[in-house]
Chain A
């Protein structure tokens, strides 16, 4: 299909109508010339009229074509061509897949190095008029000259990210959008099956450069799960999932905190659960490490556990619903009786506070809260029913009665303390070591006690919310995670950096980062490789052509020549201008045959 490097120049095609418009509209009544031999003219016109009329229309057509072709030539016409020596100015995007899997060593050489050679060969074939972009694992198109992009290619190394090749191709097409028939996208990748997502038919050419060596057999750690938290002092179990291919066995070691690592022999697809042994309370890192293979970056995975004893709490057993829930937790080891936490009323220490059943007691409660230094207060009974707003803590439950909660004078900071809302208004808030509920946990106030989520909610209140939120986040590098609203600081490798809670965050490096809310550690962010990067299985050419219609698959050796050739656009400007020249010659010849183009002498008197 014909394409254009400067399609806006096609607007000049309108000028092709000029000869016709002049012919149609520039006519006027000519001057009258008295001429006795008019009878000869009439006879001449009668004999030659048809031939001259034909020649005039032919001349008009030729001149219209000349103008139109000049406009077309200015637009830079190109045609697909399998083999072109000098390519037309092209728009090309190199997708260089330096994702984690490109760090694999194949036959002693890094896979990325061979992809890099291919990219260099393509950039070496680029011309000064070519528009070039480079997309690497971060997915961002970078525009630059061949020299600039070659410098970037030389600098980059394998990144612990996953690159979705389908998304990268879409980005490439967006980068070259508006460039006539579209640019050429060249994908240099190890073509992991997990990275190849379908792409609809789009403009431009697509060249896929595949590595020539076979993919390596790899084992990687796909998952590291420390289980239900917090752990008790007796410790817990760490579940490790092994991904990859091949029948090879490898040793894995799992270390929790400072304890000696637990060893195990694993193979692809195996899930092992290793005990940690007893461990003192606190936050402890968890490392799982496989013995080295050709791809090192997925041989290590990190996580963290919080070790804490069950909350020592006191509650009134006659509380029909809250008391029962606490008894259930007691029986399951999630609570022990003690005085560290008061459940259901305001105690002398940390408390989960319900509003009084009798509104007359509300004033006394507010005064007691004030005496404790709390900033939140109960306000009036809110008329009508409402519902909790669904969030990770609590789903949507009907609220029949509730008191308003307000923290006068706190300003915007109060949002960090609001854990659950009902119709947008605070319903469960944390005020230092107090948790204030807007409704009593009874069926007259809310339907929550009658739901299956009630006991886990009480567990959350007693073991997590009352102690401070415990957040376990996991993300791959570059992946967007939303930090808990209360987060104020992120600590990594002993270095602290302030960060806004509730905001999106894209970690760039592997490892553990602790999330702090003020002085309290409220969670951990474990940044580990995307487990799909461990799957080295390569997609076949046929599948590529199915998923990416129109794609041309070539080997690395042919990358340099195939990129622009498959880009496939032969410059037609020369050909078009040659046709224009031939038409001009035809015009001159035809006009020469017509006496109108011959030199004129002085005119007659009328």
Chain B
């Protein structure tokens, strides 16, 4: 499986380093390249195979759910195949993007995209995948307030509209997720998919309440917790004053002394989010900004279907 992945990596943007992909061109071109590569890996559509009617078999790909493996075929042919299913109905999806100041940060600006930059590519790719399947797709951006709402549409021009909006999204000062999530209800009159992309650097209770409310309304909700690798593992000079760009809260410490404890804290936060989401039937996926877009897309889409 690893040899197959490495053999195709050179021609597939979805598996390249996100920063390298971003340097190849504009958001439109790179996103199309990502989606092309991604769909090539899937043969047809990510949504095929995750819904009701069986359609066909395909070769196992890294990231596929083991539960879709055809064990009988494996026993007969000693080859790994997964079963794919045909979807029945079109989907209405709403992408919710956090554009707060904390998202406009990279631990290594010369080597990695900011969280906001990564989100732009990821959501653009996701929207393209959805729109190609004629799924109505919309977008809400927010910082300390809701900035922009694009209602879900299935038209081909929708993607360019979304693309422009994503490209123009500028970072705001604070983070207020709950109002944005409330606005989703207005846009999705019937059951649909909500993809919430944020670094979750805010107080969880209100946002969780809003997310639970969306679930309660019958929507599939996927929380993509976006983190920079530097936020996962603390590094830095011998001693530094660490300052939150939004709240201006600061802490003076030696990162070397605190890295291990910090890592435990981060793991605790992630676990809390994961458990809280699981309890409410919300799909949760933590993605770091050095994850290839193809893998991130796969994780996001697989996670969003597993909860159905």
Contacts and interface: CB of A to CB of B under 8 A. Distances in A.
A47 B265 contact: yes
Given A34-B105, A605-B107, A39 B244 contact: yes
B279 to A, nearest CB: 22
A41 B107 contact: no
Nearest to B249: A38
A44 B102 contact: no
Contacts of A542: none
Nearest to A40: B265
Interface string A363-388: 00000000000000000000000000
Given A42-B251, A47-B265, A604-B108, A32 B258 contact: no
A596 interface: yes
Contacts of B255: 603
B269 interface: yes
B240 A30 contact: yes
A48 B107 contact: no
Contact of A30 (B106, B108, B234, B237): B237
Contacts of A596: 254, 256-257
B231 A37 contact: yes
Interface string A329-364: 000000000000000000000000000000000000
Report the contact-size class of chain A (Cβ under 8 Å from the partner): 20 to 34
Determine the main DSSP class of A at the interface with B.
Answer: mixed
A23 interface: no
Given A40-B262, A42-B249, A595-B256, A604 B244 contact: no
Contact of B244 (A36, A45, A47, A605): A36
A605 to B, nearest CB: 5
B109 A605 contact: yes
Contacts, number: 120
B258 A595 contact: yes
Interface string A454-495: 000000000000000000000000000000000000000000
B251 to A, nearest CB: 5
Contacts of B64: none
Nearest to B110: A605
Given A47-B261, A598-B256, A604-B108, A36 B245 contact: yes
Nearest to A598: B256
Contacts of B249: 38-39, 42
Nearest to B229: A604
A503 to B, nearest CB: 77
Contacts of A35: 231, 242-244
A30 B236 CA distance: 11
A594 interface: yes
Contact of B230 (A29, A600, A604): A604
A606 B238 CA distance: 14
B198 to A, nearest CB: 11
Interface in A586-606: 594-598, 600-606
B265 A32 contact: no
Given A34-B245, A36-B244, A41 B108 contact: no
B242 A48 contact: no
A33 interface: yes
A189 B305 CA distance: 106
A31 interface: yes
Interface in B59-117: 101-103, 105-110
B258 to A, nearest CB: 6
A38 B241 CA distance: 10
B5 to A, nearest CB: 26
B135 interface: no
Contacts of B230: 604
Given A38-B251, A601-B235, A602-B235, A33 B256 contact: no
19 contacts: A32-B243, A34-B243, A35-B243, A36-B101, A36-B228, A36-B231, A36-B245, A36-B246, A38-B244, A41-B234, A41-B262, A44-B258, A47-B265, A594-B256, A596-B256, A600-B235, A601-B235, A603-B235, A606-B240
